[in-house]
Structure 1
Amino acid sequence: MCTKHEACSTTKNSMANPQAVSCSSLKITAIRAAGVDSNEEGCCGSRECASNDPDDEPAQLTFVKTQFNQSWKIEGMDCPSCARKVETALKKVGNVIDAKVLFATEKLVVKFNTEEAALEIEQAVRNAGFTAHRIDATNPVSAPIHSDWKSVIKQNAQILSIAGAMILAAIVQPYFPQISDGMFILTCLAGLYPIGKKAIQLARSGTPFAIETLMSVAALGALYLGETVEAAMVLLLFLIGERLEAFAASKARSGVQALMALVPETATKIVAGERITVAAHELKPGDVVEVSPGSRLPADGQLHEASASFDESALTGESLPVERYQGDSIMAGAVVADQVVRFTITSKQGENAIDRILHLIEEAESRKAPLERFLDKFSRWYTPLMMLVSLAVVVIPPTLFAQPWETWVYRGLALLLIACPCALVISTPAAITSGLAAAARRGALIKGGAALEQLGKIESIAFDKTGTLTKGKPEVTDVVALNGWDEEQLLRYVAAVEMGSSHPLATSLVKKVQAMALPIPEAIEKRALVGSGVSGVVEGKSLRVLAPSKANVPFSDAFSAQVEALEMQGKTVVVVFEQENIVGLIAWQDTLREDAKAAIEALRRLGIDTIMLTGDNPRSAATMSAQLGIDFKASLLPQDKVEYIQQLAQQKQVAMVGDGINDAPAMKAASIGIAMGGGTDVALETADAAITHNRLVELATMIELSQATLANIRQNVTLALGLKSIFLVTSLLGITGLWVAVLADSGATALVTLNALRLLKFKK
């Protein structure tokens, strides 16, 4: 499969165009500025996508069934129930393979088989009562425009008209009661028309038990009973509640929409030395762009200037400007702080740092928390059940106990309004969306409600050492040549064997040799000795570079003392062998992250146990452990880390924090995996959360935010069910009427959403 794209569908079909294969870039891994890949190929240009059959004949026609991926912006959604209504409507559209509505970004993503299906999809969305706008390069999703007073009046024209008509009818009531009743009836019917129309649309689209249906039945029932004032009041309160829900929903999306606004709409492109203003979506890799101080970068790129300062606070949570140097990667959305800069674009459309964060948030929405999944299922039978209860309330007392029909029909209608599950459905996703957005603002990305919920339950955290607790930039500190070798020869030969490795120790050594301008010879028969070191042949000499504990040969007392002394200083030591002869040793030392100790102390205050897992030698690990005040396990192979995490996970909820490929299996084995933002793509893909700015001290804050989100969810569910229960009883007893039932529904929905919005202001 194409490594850059999630899917390239190639099923055979005798009537399809073999070249019309659509690929959608949905899988996002790296959370940093896109770099330049000299080996980059087009979609499905890699060998994984190509046929491996040598007998394939070019002249032979191969037909494939086309698969299209398209996104739309959906307008008119007030809560996750609306998103589910759209998905239900699209299930009835032919040729639709999969449809997913992302409420947080108001985005619909559909996979379908025929080009004509796109129009059917848009029509299905309209039939469900919503509006769909196609998203592409020329029509990207944009941040919301703040409304002026004219547009606000236009949006609320129906509410204002009904309210005005009701006020007029109330004024006329003492003088002309019949005219007043007629005005209330007309007002009610006028307000009911759009609601009833949408109820019919939703019923045809597969959602017969929508709030619009319940409201229409309740209003018509009130009119039948002669309660004209109450019928009109019910509709007015419902419409006001809808507007409040829409407002609350837009506030809940504000964190995500703020990210969308970080990329400017235009950019200054340099062509033949001249400045040309172009749309940001027209930029492509290789273009040179100029940005003035105070402006944001329109794409990821590589800096031309010798140095420049950038404000990346909106992306990483780092409040102070960061210094970047010539050739460094810089991220879309960052603000130029001190001078005019030029840079070369490195990111394709839809693949810059902002896009990757948005994609991760969208991906996160599909990973629902267990409680959210339960409430979704619960809400699907809650409304039909409540409708049956309402019917029973209407029928049983009059038929079995000779009670007046009017009284119990009225109470049944009130119960019908309480049957709407909106407040319950939105209680969890509203809190999770706010929690995810608050985390993103602080430079932490959490992949979904399930991960957010799990993070709040963590009891123990295991850390990788190199690149996680340390900076991951070890420096060569000691070179000792033995048995007739000199230091330069030792460095050159070991660099030859280590050349091409991505291990921090190897890259550090190679850079040192290159900085010394020493020629590095060619090594052959290079081989990684898992958990031990590397081997290779250089200029006819067979070399092995091994950890002292893996050498399996006796050392002299003097040599052992030398190795032990270096390890006691917290250094990592390797022994170099030619055949079976020791020809030298090399030592590196990595430095702790400035905030590592503070991070461990913050976690300890939360009652979370911490431990360091490392493949380094026990003496070096003990030295670093003492500095941090953390337990440790040393000399661990990747599989040893996995086994330890699995054992620990049987006793408590455990997180694994790492940054490298070798950490990925242990992160997968943990209850939740957390990656450092500067880590490998494999680690970031495996992880359930990532710290984009590499500040370990924010890990405790991330956990506190998760705990606050869980508490918020409990509050919301209690509030939603509590209000429903209270007004269920009061409606049955006849204490409250229809309009109070509407307030119970819309008010509860608005309250739980506003309560969830408090998470956006979360402070440690």
Structure 2
Amino acid sequence: MTMNAIQSRYRVDGMDCASCASKIDTAVRRVPGVSDVSVSVTAGTMTVHHDATIDLAAMARKVTGLGYPVSPLGQNDPSPPARAACCGPDHDHHGHGHGDHEGHDHAKPAVADTIGLHGHDHGPTDGSWWKSRKGKLTIACGAALLAAYGIGHLVPSIASVLFIAAMLVGLIPIARRAIMAAMAGTPFSIEMLMTIAAVGAVFINAGEEAAAVVFLFLVGELLEGVAAGKARASIQALTALVPKTALLEENGQTREVAADSLSIGDIILVRTGDRIPADGTIVSGEGAIDESPVTGESTPVNKGVDATVFAGTINTVSVLRIRVTAAAADNTIARVVKLVEEAQESKAPTERFIDRFSRYYTPGVVVVAALVAIVPPLLLGGIWSEWIYKGLAILLIGCPCALVISTPAAIAASLSSGARRGLLLKGGAVLENIGRVTAVALDKTGTLTVGKPNVTDIIAFDRSERDVLVYAAALETGSSHPLATAILAKAAEKKLAVPPATDARALGGKGVTATVNGAETFLGSPKSADERVPLSGEQMARITALNDDGKTVSVLLIGGVLAGAIAMRDEPRADALAGLKALTDAGIRTVMLTGDNTRTATAIGKQLGIEVRAELMPQDKQRIVGELKAEGLVVAKVGDGINDAPALAAADVGIAMGGGTDVALETADAAVLHGRVADVAAMIDLSKRTMANIRQNITIALGLKAVFLVTTIIGVTGLWPAILADTGATVLVTINALRLLRPVATS
């Protein structure tokens, strides 16, 4: 691809499997001026890199002629229009495409609108199946076949002509696409195999079977489309979570606005029972948030002021005022959709192998069918019509649909299922690779821990615990320091009245002092406090014990008397212990990599039961990941900050935590959107289940073909079972893949 290549993105309707993408890829690469092309079946998109000499209209007509209507995706067209029933191959739906060619990579269609359905009619199957072009063609072919049977029974002399006519009703559209595909460089398409088999059957006086086979072919394709439609419905449900409108609060007044018009910093009102229209933080109000539509958690989560809420979740108890923290294009759901779409552009190694295999497989089937039809009559004295019939049946058995869809169907379903649970994987290769992980290295702060300190202990020496917290909160009022924030949050949690502080002064590196309730008050480090009022041996022992637990201790003096102390620590996430146990139970080694001091890291590591490597610089984390890989381990690195980026890139799989920086999310191969450690284990389990599903699909596809190949050669089965073997296998493979969409319990 040249440096000055222009990039154009198109929405492509009707793609159903890898063979469809291959036909489009082959045709577009032959267009003068094209340097590279990428076709995504599941996303329903095509990205073309070309120079200024290309005739985009001619290219679009070529793709449309194959039976795949295309339309350009402009930079300001993030959500393509819904499929219209009229958009068939005969309609010039491509547009001329001479507009915005650069920057199209930023304009991605909504996943709900672009998950391709499997069906070689290449028309839409949205809505009722009988209203689609595919459904109408199938009904027309079936009606013609019934008419041929009925009239042929009454007038036997014209029965053969009637069956040929019924066959042509369904075969003509199929043959037209076969010819277009051959002209575009794909002679061995499924449509071509079907056309040869049907026409050949007519020549050996099997017109009745030919008509039935064409009808069964269309029925099978229709069933595949309906089955695959469940995957589309799953993603559509995800994109439909965010409400279209929001209640915007301005100047004390509330008005309804479009949700996608909200800006960062806007204050919105969310009533009881309403879905939250944007990511944000709660400004006022408290209540239970039902996050099950986004996270899969069955129990509502209690949230109050300053808590983070996600777009698409449900406010169940009381009215909330929320400050918007992300624009519509960047909210939780939008990020899920974007990453799923990007993931669908990336093929897994297994999928790439199946693609390569199918390129040789289909011509091989044609050669085998020809040998079966010709060799026995020519060399062994067989009956020509009998062996030609068997050869035609083998052509139908060899249709590659079930094989080529076996992998992408499972991967698309798995990516969709993961996305609904906040498990985002950037492509099939990542999905396949993560199941082989044998070691997981995790950052501490923000990954294994909450990422901010919390008050863990309040020690009363001369005053009550309540007084210690009240006076400390008075000193810290107005400060944004993390430790101050922790103290103020604890006071707010206990609903304590905090008195005002006067003459407040910060003592650099030592603490803070002010007058509270008429008394000079100091809060600072134990060393600084000891300089003012000597601490007893017992008091120092208690503080040392807290320090050994990885806690930071601030000592409070009131009126020159040692009043008490407050201990704080960045505590482990609620699910960290269970999440790490799930990993170790799966035989995966876990290790904490942190830049924090050894004492604090060891205390957290002991609490969680994880191997600890502390006081590390970013390059140290990267080096340790390399050492683990050198031991023969397949390493996943989990982190959320800029200092994790080198290690994320060095690992076999980099996983960013949901609250992480943009750098971490960009560097990582996957993301745990909701920041749960247990989701790392869930992601690995999803990968293993997906690979097992793919193996099952390949076994179904090739196994059925092998059985029917043998039974056809020995004369047990014929054309009807042959086409049922192909379409039936495809339906079975698709339904099996869709099992991955079923919800899985999360811890």
Shift of 1:379: 0.9
Shift of 1:97: 5.6
2:143 is equivalent to residue 159 of structure 1: no
Equivalent position amino acid for 2:333 in 1: I
Question: SS at the partner of 2:741?
Answer: helix
Question: SS at the partner of 2:42?
Answer: helix
2:551 is equivalent to residue 601 of structure 1: no
Equivalent position amino acid for 1:402 in 2: G
- Give the one of 365, 369, 373 matched to 2:352: 373
Match of 2:738 in 1: 757
2:712 is equivalent to residue 731 of structure 1: yes
Farther off after superposition, 406-415 or 298-307: 298-307
Counterpart-to-counterpart distance in 2, 1:87 and 1:431: 22
- Give the one of 15, 39, 61 matched to 1:123: 61
1:298-341 Cα offsets, whole Å, 9 max, x none, are 44456564456543322223333445556766443233434555
CA separation of 1:604/1:282 partners in 2, compared to 1, >3 Å: closer, same or farther? Answer: closer
1:439–1:445: 8 Å Cα contact kept in structure 2?
A: yes
How is 1:231-630 mapped onto 2 (pairs within 5 angstroms)? 231-266=210-245, 292-300=271-279, 305-307=284-286, 310-322=289-301, 330-339=309-318, 347-348=326-327, 350-474=329-453, 508-509=482-483, 565=545, 567-571=547-551, 589-630=569-610
1:705-737 Cα offsets, whole Å, 9 max, x none, are 221111111111111111122222222233221
Counterpart-to-counterpart distance in 2, 1:111 and 1:284: 34
CA separation of 1:460/1:304 partners in 2, compared to 1, >3 Å: closer, same or farther? Answer: closer
CA separation of 1:667/1:736 partners in 2, compared to 1, >3 Å: closer, same or farther? Answer: same
CA separation of 1:250/1:730 partners in 2, compared to 1, >3 Å: closer, same or farther? Answer: same
CA separation of 1:675/1:201 partners in 2, compared to 1, >3 Å: closer, same or farther? Answer: same
- Give the one of 214, 217, 220 matched to 2:199: 220
How is 1:163-202 mapped onto 2 (pairs within 5 angstroms)? 163-202=142-181
Question: SS at the partner of 2:336?
Answer: helix
Farther off after superposition, 622-631 or 234-243: 622-631
Farther off after superposition, 438-447 or 511-520: 511-520
CA RMSD of aligned residues (A): 4.0
1:616–1:635: 8 Å Cα contact kept in structure 2?
A: yes
Match of 2:673 in 1: 692
Equivalent position amino acid for 2:185 in 1: G
Farther off after superposition, 321-330 or 368-377: 321-330
Shift of 1:381: 1.6
2:8–2:72: 8 Å Cα contact kept in structure 1?
A: no
Question: SS at the partner of 2:187?
Answer: coil
Counterpart-to-counterpart distance in 1, 2:626 and 2:721: 53
Shift of 1:738: 1.5
1:664-710 Cα offsets, whole Å, 9 max, x none, are 22222222122211122222222222221122223322222221111
2:454–2:487: 8 Å Cα contact kept in structure 1?
A: no
How is 1:51-70 mapped onto 2 (pairs within 5 angstroms)? 67=6, 69-70=8-9
2:85 is equivalent to residue 104 of structure 1: no
Match of 2:496 in 1: none
Equivalent position amino acid for 1:84 in 2: S
Match of 1:229 in 2: 208
Match of 1:25 in 2: none
Match of 1:747 in 2: 728
CA separation of 1:351/1:598 partners in 2, compared to 1, >3 Å: closer, same or farther? Answer: closer
1:336-386 Cα offsets, whole Å, 9 max, x none, are 434555656665564332222111111112222211111111111211121
Equivalent position amino acid for 2:409 in 1: A
Equivalent position amino acid for 2:221 in 1: E
Shift of 1:161: 2.6
1:369–1:448: 8 Å Cα contact kept in structure 2?
A: yes
Farther off after superposition, 273-282 or 95-104: 273-282
Counterpart-to-counterpart distance in 1, 2:367 and 2:481: 70
Match of 2:611 in 1: 631
CA separation of 1:313/1:514 partners in 2, compared to 1, >3 Å: closer, same or farther? Answer: closer
2:285–2:319: 8 Å Cα contact kept in structure 1?
A: no
1:252–1:753: 8 Å Cα contact kept in structure 2?
A: no
CA separation of 1:353/1:195 partners in 2, compared to 1, >3 Å: closer, same or farther? Answer: same
Shift of 1:415: 1.6
Equivalent position amino acid for 2:20 in 1: C
1:173-194 Cα offsets, whole Å, 9 max, x none, are 4442222222111101122111
2:425–2:669: 8 Å Cα contact kept in structure 1?
A: yes
1:461-489 Cα offsets, whole Å, 9 max, x none, are 2222222221111358999xxxxxxxxxx
TM-score computed with the length of structure 1 as normaliser: 0.74
Counterpart-to-counterpart distance in 2, 1:655 and 1:465: 15
- Give the one of 669, 672, 676 matched to 2:657: 676
Question: SS at the partner of 1:463?
Answer: strand
Counterpart-to-counterpart distance in 2, 1:186 and 1:663: 67
2:14 is equivalent to residue 76 of structure 1: yes
- Give the one of 659, 666, 678 matched to 2:640: 659
1:722-755 Cα offsets, whole Å, 9 max, x none, are 1122222222233221121111111111111111
Shift of 1:247: 1.4
2:445–2:451: 8 Å Cα contact kept in structure 1?
A: yes
Equivalent position amino acid for 1:199 in 2: A
1:306–1:326: 8 Å Cα contact kept in structure 2?
A: yes
Question: SS at the partner of 1:105?
Answer: coil
Counterpart-to-counterpart distance in 2, 1:10 and 1:383: 36
Counterpart-to-counterpart distance in 2, 1:715 and 1:343: 47
2:15–2:44: 8 Å Cα contact kept in structure 1?
A: yes
Equivalent position amino acid for 1:397 in 2: P
Shift of 1:425: 1.0
Counterpart-to-counterpart distance in 2, 1:601 and 1:514: 34
1:96–1:117: 8 Å Cα contact kept in structure 2?
A: no
1:252–1:430: 8 Å Cα contact kept in structure 2?
A: no
Farther off after superposition, 126-135 or 286-295: 286-295
2:628 is equivalent to residue 644 of structure 1: no
Q: Runs of 5+ in structure 1 lacking a partner?
A: 1-6, 12-64, 480-490, 500-505, 524-544, 546-556, 575-585
Equivalent position amino acid for 1:156 in 2: G
2:454–2:571: 8 Å Cα contact kept in structure 1?
A: no
2:21 is equivalent to residue 87 of structure 1: no
Question: SS at the partner of 1:253?
Answer: helix
Question: SS at the partner of 1:426?
Answer: helix
1:397-420 Cα offsets, whole Å, 9 max, x none, are 333333332222212211212222
Match of 1:35 in 2: none
